[in-house]
Structure 1
């Protein structure tokens, strides 16, 4: 187990509970229980070896594709937006298949490249990425689909696909999809509304604070050390998913936001350390190659999503509906990200073990001490 990853996860889960305490005080117990369960899932799943994840990759990906296919027919929306049906409900169980699909895509691509290598495999891998991305795009969920496509590209790069091939692929896909952009935006006008609102943000703020403006105000109120959850009566928080960082900043101040960023940085350096150590293992086995791909892919899955969410909160991106990993309210995202951390734990343990075996010098038979020495 990586102590760095455990510290990062505990910090993020605690900050999430603190943020929820300000937004929805009646949901503290529910969110706290789910946070403990998510931590337990990480500790249990991390005991698996990377070969288990690589074997399960096609199965997990296939199941997530099945759920994504059900969303257009059986999906449900939220009270705020019934038009965006992104959740499935089976009795008391409600989950978001697109969250699972991110992990499924990483596992599938890592399994594919570890078994088959990267030479002449660009078309097959691209088909996997596009199929998953398009199913999410149909929901519609533009923000997650863009993240999904970027995730697939990062995994291809981590596997060893040449950057020139990836660049050509992106250009070709862009040229093919450009004619379809207009019709997609016409069918889903809420996307244009968000883009227009983002462009006119200054005009909106002249009339009164918008959603992002309120988030910035609450962050400013937090100061250096925060106001604590009791200061809620002085502020207004509209979201406990997209803009949860505003309540974290209000309750814990600049120190809390710095801890948040530090926790994500710990995840980044741990995954990069896995890739660095894996490059030193000789011979490079498919399992070690796969472990390196898994670590980088799951890291980007977590940190890439955090980057988008924080850019939305900063007002750099329009509102996308992407939650802040391990912090925002919502069990689908929290559970998926906890499993992703478990994958990095597993990859780190396997790479360290293999590296220790390959770097331990063999002891000559004649040099062992005898009973008469």
Structure 2
């Protein structure tokens, strides 16, 4: 297992507990219990070999498609979701299928490319990406669907699809969706409302009246070392804590935000090291190829979503409702991202197992 990944997960979940303790103190025990379950799940599943994830990939992807198909019919929303349906409820169990959909797409494409290769498989892989993305788009959930599509493109690149082929694919898809974009935005006016309000919010933000403005204000109040968890209560963040980075910044200051970014960098560095080591294994077996794709896909699942969340908090992107991975309150996201961490652990151990004995390349903070 990779010690770097364990450190990263502990840092992120500890900062999440700190942020929840400040933003929603009555949820700290619930969040802490779920974080403990997530870590245990990561450590358990990390012992599996990548072939187990690759074999289950098509079945898990099919199951997530079924759940996504159910959402428009029996799904539920929240008071803040403006009439959208993104959740499924079965008794006391409530979860967001789109979170599982990201993981399903990673497992399916890794399994597909490992078994079939990348030659002349672009159309089939594109169909899988578009099908999953469209099912999320109709909920509607534009932010997650864009992340889903970007995840699919990254997986293609990680599998070895040529940049020229990917560029041609993107151009063709853009030409197809442009005529439909206007109709989609008309049917879901809240999307345009968010975009226009984000564009016109600069004057409001200057006096700190909107959500992002208040987040900036409290990040500034945090200073270098923070004000501690007994300071201002962030009741304007709500239970989803999309702006939880502001709570962390207020409580632990610039130091806490730097630790947050450092933890995500550890995840990126570990996944890229998996891909580098996999490229040195000879012969390149389907399992090693699949392990490399799994690691890059799981990494982008986590870090890509973190990038969007932090850009929202910085005011660069409009509010999307995308949680901060392994930090924000919410079990669906935490569970899925913990599974992604287990996949990177598994991939790292597998490529190390197949390295030639004379190749000592290894992360100094990793151990089996």
Shorter-normalised TM range: over 0.9
Summarize the alignment of residues 130-141 of structure 1 with structure 2, pairs less than 5 Å apart: 130-141=130-141
**C-alpha contact (below 8 Å) 1:12/1:263 kept by paired residues:** yes
Q: What is the alpha-carbon distance in structure 2 between the residues aligned to residue 345 and residue 81 of structure 1?
A: 35
1:102 aligns with 2:102: yes
Supply the distance in 2 between the matched residues of 1:90 and 1:98 (Cα, whole angstroms).
16
Q: Quote how far apart the aligned CAs of 1:326 are.
A: 0.3
The TM-score normalised by the length of structure 2 is 0.95
Deviating more after overlay: 95-104 vs 238-247: 238-247
Give the structure 1 partner of residue 65 of structure 2. 65
Provide the C-alpha distance between the structure 1 equivalents of 2:261 and 2:359, rounded to a whole number of angstroms: 35
CA distance in 2, matches of 1:116, 1:278: 18
Report if aligned partners of 1:100, 1:336 keep a CA contact under 8 Å in 2: yes
Offset from partner CA, 1:121-163 (integer Å, 9 cap, x none):
0000000000000000000000000000000000000000000
Pair 1:43–1:225, CA change in 2 (3 A): same
Q: Does the CA contact (< 8 Å) of 2:54 and 2:107 recur in 1?
A: yes
Specify the structure having the higher radius of gyration (Cα). Answer: 1
Contact 1:281–1:358 (Cα < 8 Å) also in 2? no
CA contact (8 A) 1:215 1:237 kept: no
1:232 deviation in Å?
A: 1.9
CA contact (8 A) 2:5 2:266 kept: yes
Give the SS at the match of 2:55. Answer: helix
RMSD: 1.3
Instruction: Please give the secondary structure, in 1, of the residue aligned with 2:85.
Output: coil
Provide Cα deviations, 1:275-321, integer angstroms capped at 9, x if missing partner.
Answer: 00000000000000000000001001100000000000000000011
Report the equivalent of 1:298: 298
Return 5+ residue gaps in structure 2 as ranges.
361-368
**Aligned-partner Cα distance in 1 for 2:148–2:336:** 14
Separation in 2 of the partners of 1:206 and 1:149? 34
Question: Are the aligned partners of 2:54 and 2:110 in contact in 1 as well (CA < 8 Å)?
Answer: yes
CA distance in 1, matches of 2:140, 2:319: 14
Contact 2:216–2:246 (8 Å) recurs in 1:
yes
Q: Report what 1:370 is aligned to.
A: none
Q: CA deviation at 1:228?
A: 1.2
User: 1:181 and 2:172 equivalent?
Assistant: no
Q: Deviations over 1:248-299 (max 9, x none)?
A: 1011110000000000000000000000000000000000000000000100
What is aligned with 2:221?
Answer: 221
CA distance in 2, matches of 1:334, 1:258: 21
* Deviations 1:162-213 (CA, angstroms, capped at 9, x unpaired): 0000000000000000000011001111100100111101233367511100
Q: Following TM superposition, by how much is the alpha carbon of 1:237 offset from its aligned partner in structure 2, in angstroms? A: 3.9
Match of 1:279 in 2: 279
Query: 5 Å matches for 1:90-169?
Result: 90-169=90-169
SS in 1 for 2:161: coil
Contact 1:215–1:313 under 8 Å retained in 2: yes
Number of the residue aligned with 2:364: none
- Contact between 1:48 and 1:346, CA under 8 Å: does it hold in 2? yes
Partner Cα distance (1:208, 1:229) in 2: 22
Tell whether 2:326 aligns with 1:326: yes
| CA-CA distance at 1:236 after TM superposition | 5.2
Q: Distance in 1 between matches of 2:232 and 2:281?
A: 53
- Cα deviation per residue 1:45-104 (whole Å; 9 max; x = unaligned)? 101100000000001100000000000001111122251210000000000000000000
Give the CA deviation at 1:356.
4.2
| Contact 1:271–1:344 (CA under 8 A) maintained in structure 2 | yes
CA drift at 1:15: 0.3
Distance 1:351 1:114 in 2: 15
How far, CA to CA, are the matches of 1:181 and 1:136 in structure 2? 15
TM-score, with length taken from structure 1 = 0.94
User: For 1:231, what is the secondary structure of its paired residue?
Assistant: coil
